[in-house]
Amino acid sequence: MTSLDSFRCCKTLKVGTKTYAYYSLPAAEKNGLKGISRLPFSLKVLLENLLRNEDGRTVTKEDLQGVAQWLKTKTSEREIAFRPARVLMQDFTGVPAVVDLAAIRDAMVKLGGDPKKINPLVPVDLVIDHSVIVNFAGSGAAFKKNVEEEYKQNQERYEFLKWAQRSFEDLRVVPPGTGICHQVNLEYLARTVWTRKEKLKIDGKPVQIELAYPDTLVGTDSHTTMVNGLAVLGWGVGGIEAEAAMLGQPYSMVLPEVIGVKLTGKLKEGVTATDLVLTVTQMLRKRGVVSKFVEFFGVGIANLSIADRATIGNMSPEYGATCGFFPIDDDTLQYLRDTGRSSDRVALVAAYAKAQGLYRTKTTPDPVFTDVLKLELSQIEPSLAGPKRPQDRVALKDLKHGFATSLDKEFGKGGEMGKRLPVAGRNYDLGHGDVVIAAITSCTNTSNPSVMMGAGLLARKAAAKGLTVKPWVKTSLAPGSQVVAEYLNKSGLQADLDKLGFNLVAFGCTTCIGNSGPLAPEISKTINDHDLVNAAVLSGNRNFEARVNPDVRANYLASPPLVVAYALAGSMQVDLNRSPLGTDKAGKKVFLKDIWPSNREIAAFVRKNITKQMFTKKYGDVFKGDALWRKIRVKGALTYGWDAKSTYVQNPPYFVGMGRSPAPVTDIVDARVLGLFLDSITTDHISPAGSIKLDSPAGKYLLAHKVKPLDFNLSINTAPAAAIMR
Ligand code: SF4
């Protein structure tokens, strides 16, 4: 689409030997949009989007003027049409969108058209990461067994997605076992500045040219926001919105308020990015940032790596914001280089951002924000969040007391702190607060080498002193990309993690999405028979009751090193600041401070063990998949070979009876409210991605179709919903 370009800002930019077209913000400012150089960086990205897509209908000249006027009011009621550069999907929510696309191809054939013409209109990446379950853990064989199980349970889903991978243009599928969508996005898919070939008029002359514009996206996972740490504006949307974006429809939104968070200082020794993000979450929840953008600024940004920024971006849904944006700076460019992005791309990002006023340096004036909050990084302290909500941060030093209070107030078992029950067939007992799951999981943290190396170093020191994990703890390590496994292996730290049972279980979401797998039957029975409030400690971002595991009621979010520490302690009733984790080989007490690695030690390990080649090697053939993926046989060619008996994927009935000219759209009458919700309702409650209950409508449908309950987990979004709801 060629923009009407009311502000005459379509210009060219020479980068090396190449010339790009772009919609220049400084030119637009000069030609009438006064003051826009003072907009928050995130709004400049939105403004560029509108300038590039001005069609007089979905985007008007008044919309563009409305963005400039935002500077006066710092708020707006104007609805704008945002067109993301691309769409990111994961397999749970992505499959229905691809099913619809496949159905359109079928309809096209029926109407005598060419099915090849049906493809996404903006690039789509679908990463298969949500399916793997930690059925096996704590051994060297766990990874292989979990992957085999995953393929067995998801065969039909993977056959369908492999067909899609082969059949559609502009739809790329990252096979299972590669990583978690947001980490793969951060480390590989994101480009910060996107390009595509366009026919444009420049200085009145039509030209075919590469157009450069900010990398933006919507994704079908709420933590799509993570990539805002790399200055890529994006957020999570519902499947229908993502599908609309995929089909070239604009995303309608109100021009948001932007809350600036001014960062100063530096994190103290022993404090991690996880502690920081839990503090940010608590602080922003208190302020109230729902439907707003959050943008970080101030000198403190320079003391945060891109991985730290991505951790903060990740938890935007937990603090309630649409996104948590960090602008492009020197560190952004360095991260792109370090992760193997091409030198041409890095040069383009630098040149484009500088030409657009999208590049932040120490001397860049602070943008105009709707409101400003301040955060001094040196004030952050080691923290966890729980037992039920991500915003309920508890300082590590107060955790023991915090758990006791929660046991009383939230679980109504205040008088039972000392209660312990024997576990049948085991030589230990179990009580409230005992940690039964310790999971290094979730892109929130696994994308951050400093906390991953920190966990490895802590494991090394603990193992060297002869400490062991308590026998009731199910331990797991699920990195968000194969690069993590590569650097943990190279540094030798994986061997130390293995000694404590943190063996690799998968490259996928696992515990973060509730796929923590079953607990040992004896432990599960003891918990359920005696209504124990046991705990999970995980490096994820959500901890609503039963999200992590149906047997576990108290869930604490923590940094990977603290996950290891709590696996050693075995209980939330242990005060890690004052009580020992165990004794060394000589019988001497070992405290957390004795094995906590220093910031300098961690930084040295990161420097020494992570190379650019690891990224280029691991992402070099990212779409190829493992041997199991390559073995999958595909049904169908240009259209999918639907199986009418499938309880998993069926051709949806939307186009039944549709002619070449569809009937006009009519009003919806007699619609009924399907659900009316109070506060604190999340996608977890509305469409939980966990297991399907036997007595739910979907469960009954699947049972009637002879699907074994063990296979239920995979059907949540893709069972033929129409048939179930009938
Ligand atoms: S690890 Fe968690 S946050 Fe990341 S994509 Fe998976 S479910 Fe979402």
Q: What is the residue-wise DSSP string for 347-382?
A: HHHHHHHHHHT-B--TTSPPPP-SEEEEEEGGG---
Give me the mean pLDDT over the 646-668 stretch.
Answer: 88
Give me the mean pLDDT over the 446-465 stretch.
Answer: 98
By C-alpha distance, which of 232, 234, 230, 258 is closest to 245?
234
pLDDT tens string 500-550 = 999 999 999 999 989 999 999 999 999 999 999 999 999 999 998 778 998
Q: Would you call the peptide bond into 664 cis, given omega within 30 degrees of 0 as the criterion?
A: no
CB 177 within 8 A of CB 215: no
> What count of residues does the chain have?
726
- What is residue 429's predicted lDDT score, i.e. its pLDDT? 97
Report the alpha-carbon distance of residue 425 to residue 383 in Å, rounded. Answer: 36
- In the reported structure, the alpha carbon of residue 220 is separated from the centroid of ligand 1 by a whole-number distance in angstroms of 11
**What is the distance, to the nearest Å, from the Cα of residue 57 to the centroid of all Cα atoms in its chain?**
34
* Ligand 1 contact, 512 CB (< 6 A): yes
Please provide residue 371's backbone torsions phi and psi, each rounded to the nearest 5 degrees: -155, 155
Domains and CATH numbers, the chain: 383-614 (3.30.499.10), 653-725 (no CATH)
- In the reported structure, the alpha carbon of residue 509 is separated from the centroid of ligand 1 by a whole-number distance in angstroms of 5
* Ligand 1 contact, 513 CB (< 6 A): yes
Mean pLDDT over all residues of the chain?
Answer: 94
- In the reported structure, the alpha carbon of residue 541 is separated from the centroid of ligand 1 by a whole-number distance in angstroms of 8
What are the beta bridge partners of residue 395? 383
Report the alpha-carbon distance of residue 504 to residue 441 in Å, rounded. Answer: 10
Q: What is the rounded (10 degree) CA torsion for 148, 443, 717, 176?
A: -30
Q: Whose CA is nearest to atom 7 of ligand 1?
A: 513
Q: Per-residue pLDDT for 720 more than 60?
A: no
Probe residue for ligand 1, chosen from 180, 547, 683 as the CB with the greatest number of ligand atoms within 8 Å: 180
pLDDT tens string 211-254 = 999 999 999 999 999 999 999 999 999 888 999 999 999 999 99
Grouping H, G, I as helix, E, B as strand and the rest as coil, residue 243 is helix
Q: What is the residue-wise DSSP string for 538-591?
A: ESSS---TTTS-TT--EEEE--HHHHHHHHHH-BTTS-TTTS-SEE-TTS-EE-
Q: Per-residue pLDDT for 715 more than 60?
A: no
pLDDT tens string 409-430 = 999 999 999 999 999 999 999 9
Over pLDDT 70: what percentage of the chain? 96
Atom of ligand 1 nearest to the CA of 480: 1
pLDDT tens string 458-470 = 999 999 999 999 9
- In the reported structure, the alpha carbon of residue 443 is separated from the centroid of ligand 1 by a whole-number distance in angstroms of 6
* Ligand 1 contact, 443 CB (< 6 A): yes
Cα-trace Rg, the chain: 26
Q: Per-residue pLDDT for 719 more than 50?
A: no
Q: Are strands 435-440 and 474-477 parallel, antiparallel or unpaired?
A: parallel
Helices (H), ranges, 394-492: 399-409, 443-446, 449-464, 482-490
- In the reported structure, the alpha carbon of residue 294 is separated from the centroid of ligand 1 by a whole-number distance in angstroms of 21
DSSP 189: I
* pLDDT band (50, 70, 90) for residue 349: very high
- In the reported structure, the alpha carbon of residue 444 is separated from the centroid of ligand 1 by a whole-number distance in angstroms of 7
pLDDT tens string 48-84 = 999 999 999 999 999 999 999 999 999 999 999 999 9
Atom of ligand 1 nearest to the CA of 130: 6
CB 64 within 8 A of CB 50: yes
pLDDT tens string 565-589 = 999 999 999 999 999 999 999 999 9
Burial of 480 (0-12, 13-18, 19+ CB in 10 A): buried
Amino acid identity at 284:
L
Give me the mean pLDDT over the 165-173 stretch.
Answer: 96
Q: Whose CA is nearest to atom 6 of ligand 1?
A: 509
Probe residue for ligand 1, chosen from 125, 178, 221 as the CB with the greatest number of ligand atoms within 8 Å: 221
* Ligand 1 contact, 439 CB (< 6 A): no
Q: What is the rounded (10 degree) CA torsion for 680, 681, 683, 689?
A: 100
Probe residue for ligand 1, chosen from 182, 226, 316, 445 as the CB with the greatest number of ligand atoms within 8 Å: 182
Q: Whose CA is nearest to atom 4 of ligand 1?
A: 443
- What is residue 716's predicted lDDT score, i.e. its pLDDT? 44
Atom of ligand 1 nearest to the CA of 512: 2
CB 184 within 8 A of CB 481: yes
DSSP 481: B
- What is residue 485's predicted lDDT score, i.e. its pLDDT? 98
Over pLDDT 90: what percentage of the chain? 84
* pLDDT band (50, 70, 90) for residue 687: low
User: Range with the lowest mean pLDDT among 98-102, 172-176, 663-667?
Assistant: 663-667
- In the reported structure, the alpha carbon of residue 128 is separated from the centroid of ligand 1 by a whole-number distance in angstroms of 11
pTM score, two decimals?
0.94
- Taking residue 266's Cβ as centre, other Cβ atoms within 10 Å add up to 17
Report the alpha-carbon distance of residue 136 to residue 437 in Å, rounded. Answer: 13
**What b/e sequence results for 399-414 when a residue is b if at least 16 CB atoms lie within 10 Å of its CB, and e otherwise?**
bbebbbebbeeebeee
- In the reported structure, the alpha carbon of residue 654 is separated from the centroid of ligand 1 by a whole-number distance in angstroms of 31
User: Range with the lowest mean pLDDT among 30-44, 78-92, 359-373, 694-708?
Assistant: 694-708
Q: What is the residue-wise DSSP string for 267-299?
A: PPTT--HHHHHHHHHHHHHHH--TT-EEEEESG
By C-alpha distance, which of 572, 592, 570 is closest to 580?
592
Tokens 């193997």 -> residue? 340
Report the alpha-carbon distance of residue 255 to residue 67 in Å, rounded. Answer: 8
- What is residue 196's predicted lDDT score, i.e. its pLDDT? 96
User: Range with the lowest mean pLDDT among 13-27, 535-549, 698-712?
Assistant: 698-712
* Ligand 1 contact, 509 CB (< 6 A): yes
Grouping H, G, I as helix, E, B as strand and the rest as coil, residue 703 is helix
- In the reported structure, the alpha carbon of residue 312 is separated from the centroid of ligand 1 by a whole-number distance in angstroms of 14
By C-alpha distance, which of 347, 351, 291, 300 is closest to 319?
291
